[in-house]
Every structure is written in C-alpha cells, then in structure tokens.
Chain A
Amino acid sequence: MIKAVLAGNPNTGKSLLFSRITRTGAVSANYSGTTVETKTGNFIYQGTGYTLVDGPGIYSLEEFSDNDRTALSLLDESDIIINVIDATNLERNLNLTLQLLEKRKPMVVCLNFWEETGHMGIHIDAAELEKLLDVPVVPVSALQNDGISELVAAMSRARVSEAVFSAEGQWNRIGIIVNRVQKLSHRHHTFLEMLSDITLKPAWGILTALIVLVATLLFVRFIGEGLITKVFDPLYLNYYSPFIHNMTGHIPYHFLAGILTGNTADPLQSFGILTSGVYIALVLVFPYFLAFYIVFGFLEDFGYLPRLAVVLDNTFHRLGLHGYSAIPVMLGLGCKVPAFLSTRILTSRREKILTTSLIMMSAPCLPQTSMIISLGSHYGTAVVLSIFMILLAVAFITTLILNRFIKGESSDFFTELPSYRIPSASLMAKKLRMRVADYFYEVIPLIVFGVLIMNLLEVSHILAFITSMIQKPVDLVFGLPADIAPIMIMGFLRKDASIALLAPLNLTAQQFIIASIFLTLYIPCIASFFTITRESGLADSMKIMGIVLVTASAICGILHLVFIIAG
C-alpha cells in the first residue's frame, strides 16, 4: 500500500478530489477550513494499492492551529504528496509547493479549477511548470470530474524534485516561475464579482446578512411545515399508524405491545418505539432537517459563509472572538457535533472554549428547534420568539463573562474570501444525501432507544419513584410539574426528543418557556458530550458541563421568579 496525502492551501478542492478519486463521500464546501477531520480511502490502480488521505488545508509548513498540526503530521506519514493547487491563484499556492518540494518526498502537482482559468483570462503552461518544478503537473477539474484519471496515472510517476532555484528568497523564486508559466489577459468584472463587492460593503453587508437570515428562516419554515402537514403527517396518520396498530394488535403479550406502540393513540403521548419513536424522528424533525440543510448547503457552496463572518466580526469581537467563529456557531444551528469539530479551525484554546460555549448556548440544535416551534406554536409566536431571544441573551452574557476569566490571547480575524461560485446541483444533492444518511444512522437510533428506556422506566415504576424524589425541588425552583423530572434525566440520551416529550404534560406558556430553555441548555446530548471530550479533553469538558448546568438552573430559577413577580 502506498500512502498518498492530498496537501494544499485551504479551499483548493482537496475533499472533492478525494471523493472523485476514491468514489466515496467527503463533505466539501466553498470556504477555508471545511475539512477538519482526516479521511482515508483505498483504491487500486494498475495493480498498485494506494491509500489516499485527505486532511485540512495549510498555507505554509508553519503551525498556527490544531488543524495545521494535523495537516503537517499527515505530510510526515505519507509516501507520496499530491500537492493540490488552485490554478486561478498560482502565485500564492506556489509558496506551499516550493516548501513541500524541500520535504524531499515523491510529489505530484495537481492544477485544480482548471476549467475556471479559461474564462478568467489566465493561461498556464503546465508543461513548462512541470519542467521548472521537476515533478509531474496535471491540470484537473474536480468540479467537472475532468482529468482525474490522468492525475491517478501520474501518481506512479511521482518523483523527488531535483529542481534548483537560483533566485534568493522564496517570493522572488515564485515570481520568476509565475512569469515563466502564466499569462494574463484583461477581462471585465463578472456578475458574481460585483455581487461579492456589494456583500462586503458595510451597510449592504448587514442588509444582505439580514435578507439571507430571514429568507433562510422563511424557507425552512415553509418547506418544513409544508412537508409535515401535507406529506408526512397524513402518511403517518392514514397509512402507517393503522398498519402498525393492526400488526401489533395480534401480539398476545400486553407488555410487548405496550413497548412497541404505547398505550394511547396520540403519537406524542404514547411513548411507543414504533409510534412515538418514529413519529418524532420522521414526521416532526426530519422535514426541518431536510429544509435546513438544503439552504445551508447552498450557502456553503456559494461561498457566502466567510463574508457573513466578516459582517459579524464586530459582534464577535465584543465576546473576545473574531468573526470566523461565526462559522462553527452557524453549523451548530443544524447539529452541534460538526460544529464542535469545526472549532479546530480556530487558533487558540481560549477561542475554542469561548466558541464552544456559544455553540452550546446560543441556539438549540435543529431537532430541538423544530420541536420548540412545533409545540410552541400552540402558545403563540411570542412564546417561541422569547425562548430564542432569552437563549441568545444568555449565550452572549455567559461568553462575555467567560471572556473576562479565561487566559490567553485572542487572535485577529484572518481568512481568505473565496470567489462566489454557482453551486453544482449534483454536488449539493450528494452532500444532502450524506447528511441525511448520518441523521438516520446516528440520530434515529438514539431517539428510538430513548423512547424505549422511557417506556421501560414507566412500566417498571422507576419513573414514578424518581418523579417523587425530585418533585419538590423542580416545583419549587422552576415551577414545573413533577412529570418533567424523568425527561430531564433521560434528556442526556436523546436530547433531540426531550422537548417533544413535553407534549403530554399540558404545560402553561410560562412553564413551556422555562422547560424549553432548561432542556436546551442543561446538558449536551451524548454525541456532543463525546465530541467535546475528544476535542478538549475530559477535564475541560466536565468543566464546561458544570458551567452549563449551573447556568441553566440559575437562568430557569430566575425566570421562574420573574414570572411569579410579574404575576
């Protein structure tokens, strides 16, 4: 097995190239730092087995963040380096290329985005570049799936460069190479470039950000709700539910039937694996999940996220962070797990901790959000809005306080702004499919498992016991009914569904606000917990959990008091 690593600047299309070569899936998007985890895939070419490794992008062989460390160690472990270059930005990319040549490892250079050079007025003499660098150079378009087989074929010709550069200084050498191989012709601004300029102007930037945000919310709500009321709910009620009840009706054991379908017909109250479990995961959460990732996938691939980060930089500076933290926080609106992973693009531990706290507190994850909206709409829009406003305020205040106490320097905003690109529909569909598959593999088993445990606890009367134990404190501090106690305990396993389980409790609007906020904040779900532990270590993760639990209890206690005083 020959180990080949894809190395190159961020956002040069390494992950897409990886997907194309190994024919597997790797999430790609149009911003620096999409890839934070290492992916490996195997393939055989002309009898030789290769292991291809995809890792984070780097600008130089220096180490600025955890991401860089990962990338550098991948380089050291590899047999062959495939240096991926953005052909539309030869000069800057060659800086890394020349540094890589000095590693004295067999190398191939891949000129990606070849299809864009033509209409950008850039002409590169690949053969001349190959001569100068003394390693194979292959033009490729990962986006259009062009030149991939040539690249794979060139891997067998990978060689240690013997090139000698006479000029002093790295950038002088690069200048000489660029002058030899690249010719530019003038051309006019494209529509996308003008759009890019507009979205960066201060006033327009904020306006665009608002428009994008509102449009996203409207779209997710429209599509999500439409799918629920027009498709999934009728399907469930008219076909699935009668079918399941018919099937389980023949089970002679009352206990087993109870576990499978619960004891009432209402799918939100029955706690049956095949009824509540399926209904929450598929009918209530999945439509919102789908709608959110359609919009988010588009924004990612279009290249808008880094520009939004520029606009948000001011706000984040107040929190001791800079705008790039906005990207993990936005990812967290979907699911917290990829959000925590993406904090690796941040350069200091302090920023990571602050961003982690923001991700955890600023908004619930998508399954919870959709449940808060679904259940909360019975109480009116004001109730739903106030839940999100309070969460946002709590997140800001907590991060502000943490910012004053955590040591370490905060670094400055620094990112490349990718050109806007019209997303490819097939790539967006592929990414959506991967995210949906993840949802089904990871989230649904947890929901079903949670419903099962809940059901078992109820049948075995443990539920009643726990309930009686914490009945008093819960009522006294939060003003919530005792039945919420088991939901709190089980929330760790299936946080996604915990809000849904509030449905049978017939809470008042005020109780619903307090309960939603508590269930959103008090503890991360089990998947997030493992991710934070892996990213920050057990000690930090326990501290974060402690802080979050105390904050959640304090906030909900205060809210309860406020509601009492307000009458």
Chain B
Amino acid sequence: MKFRRLRRWGRRDIIRDEPADRMLPDESGVNVTSLKNGQSAVVTGITGPEKPARRLAAMGIIPGAVITKRSASAMKGPVVIEKNGKQLAVGFHMARMILVEQTSIKTGRHGEQL
C-alpha cells in the first residue's frame, strides 16, 4: 500500500480523496433521496461521475425507468429502491445522483401497473 504523504509536508496536489459525487450539490431538482418511502417515480436522468452512473445503468436504473423508494436508513445511510419487484440498496450519495419525477403510477410487487 502506498502511504500518502502527510498533508503538512505535502503539496496541494495531494487532496483528500473524496469521491466527486460526495461533493455533488443537491441542486438539480428532485432526486431519489427526497422521495417518501413507498413513493414511485420515473427516473429522468443520472448526474455525477461516470463509473457509478454506469453501474446504475447496468442494473436498469436509466431514464424512463419506474422505481419505488422502499426505505432509507437514518443518517444518510443506504436507500433501498425497487424496480420490477427487485430491491437494490444504493449508498446515499449514489442515490442523490438519480434524478426523478414523481408519478402517480402505482406499481405492484413486480413493477406491473395497477
């Protein structure tokens, strides 16, 4: 493992390695974290860095997908979202990348419209 030089000796280029999405301001409208539990929404877009966005896409979290927020943990813990009846636990910061538009579509256990 490579140790980072202590900051007081180090140059400015050694920045604390916060992932970019952690600094993402919550400005681009409604995202998954602001939904209530049990509320459904249509994904309108994914913001933020590319790698986590591609991981979400591989699981079918893409614009147009209908998802339901199942639960959230206290203190910015993971958010559980459901799509087609399958649950996905997503870290809080990654959940903030998922922009949504609330919908009145009610979905059943495997995503079928009711």
Contact = CB atoms under 8 A, between A and B. Distances in A.
A and B assemble together: yes
Interface of A: 59-60, 62, 64, 88-89, 91-92, 95, 120-122, 171, 184, 186-187, 189, 193, 196-197, 200-203, 205, 306, 309-311, 313-314, 322-323, 349, 353, 405-417, 540, 543-544
Contact of B109 (A189, A202, A417, A543): A189
A413 B90 contact: yes
A59 B52 CA distance: 13
Interface string B39-61: 00000000000011011011110
B71 interface: yes
Contacts of B78: 310, 313, 323, 413
B62 to A, nearest CB: 6
A314 B112 contact: no
Nearest to B95: A412
A92 B84 contact: yes
Nearest to B90: A414
Interface centre among A64, A205, A309, A417 (most CB of B within 10 A): A417
Contacts of A62: 54, 58
B110 A417 contact: no
A409 B77 contact: no
Contacts of A407: 2, 4, 17
Nearest to B110: A184
A230 B89 CA distance: 44
A412 B91 contact: yes
Given A407-B2, A415-B88, A314 B52 contact: no
A120 B110 contact: yes
Given A184-B110, A313-B91, A323-B78, A409 B17 contact: yes
Q: Top 10 nearest A-B pairs by Cβ distance?
A: A412-B91, A413-B91, A60-B58, A417-B87, A59-B58, A412-B94, A184-B112, A202-B74, A409-B19, A200-B71
A149 to B, nearest CB: 29
A7 to B, nearest CB: 14
Contact of B1 (A60, A121, A353, A409): A353
Nearest to A203: B74
Nearest to B71: A200
Nearest to B57: A60
B52 A412 contact: yes
B86 A416 contact: yes
Nearest to B82: A417
B22 to A, nearest CB: 8
23 contacts: A59-B59, A62-B58, A92-B86, A186-B108, A189-B109, A196-B87, A197-B70, A197-B71, A200-B70, A200-B71, A201-B71, A203-B74, A306-B89, A311-B73, A314-B77, A411-B19, A412-B93, A412-B94, A416-B86, A416-B87, A416-B88, A417-B86, A543-B1
A417 B89 contact: yes
Contacts of A193: 109
Contacts of A406: 1-4
Interface residues of B, number: 47
B19 A313 contact: no
A202 B73 contact: yes
A538 B17 CA distance: 26
Contact of A91 (B17, B18, B60, B76): B60
A410 B72 CA distance: 21
B73 A310 contact: yes
B84 to A, nearest CB: 5
Interface string B72-114: 1111111010011111111111100000000000001111101
Nearest to B87: A417
A174 to B, nearest CB: 8
B60 A95 contact: yes
A349 B17 CA distance: 13
A412 B111 CA distance: 26
B2 to A, nearest CB: 6
Nearest to B56: A414
Contacts of A309: 89
A310 B92 CA distance: 11
B88 A417 contact: yes
Nearest to A543: B1
B58 A95 contact: yes
Given A184-B111, A203-B74, A407-B2, 11 more contacts: A64-B55, A186-B114, A196-B87, A202-B74, A313-B78, A314-B75, A314-B77, A411-B52, A413-B91, A415-B88, A416-B59
A412 B60 CA distance: 18
A374 B18 CA distance: 45
Contacts of A187: 109
Contacts of B94: 412-414
A548 to B, nearest CB: 13
Interface in B7-47: 17-19, 21
Interface centre among A121, A200, A323, A412 (most CB of B within 10 A): A412
B38 to A, nearest CB: 10
Contacts of B52: 411-412, 414
A415 B89 contact: yes
B3 A405 contact: yes
